[in-house]
Amino acid sequence: MPLIAIVVAALAVGFEQLIEWKYGPMGIIGVLALTVGLKSRNTLISGIGAVLLVMLLAPSG
């Protein structure tokens, strides 16, 4: 069981690093807000995080 927890934690950290590398600090804030909102079941915070991520991922133009 501890091995699975370590692997999941490593994947989560890797995903966060990928988002920060590609989308900068706003990407991390969006992922963080979405995660915190989902875990606390707060739709306002998760909605803000989702909107931030959509705005970063949407093509401009």
Summarize pLDDT for 6-47 with one digit per residue, the tens.
988 899 888 888 888 888 888 889 988 998 999 999 999 999
Assess whether pLDDT exceeds 80 at residue 4: yes
What local confidence, expressed as pLDDT, does residue 56 receive?
87
What local confidence, expressed as pLDDT, does residue 61 receive?
67
Question: Tell me: the pLDDT tens digits for 39-58?
Answer: 999 999 999 999 998 998 88
User: Where along the chain do its domains lie?
Assistant: 2-57
Please tell me the distance from the alpha carbon of residue 48 to that of residue 37, in angstroms, as a whole number.
9
Could you tell me which of 36, 57, 56, 54 has the C-alpha nearest to residue 46?
A: 36
Inter-axis angle of helices 2-40 and 43-57, nearest 10: 100
Distance spanning both ends of the chain, measured CA to CA: 47
- pTM equals 0.71
Could you tell me which of 46, 44, 21 has the C-alpha nearest to residue 31?
A: 46
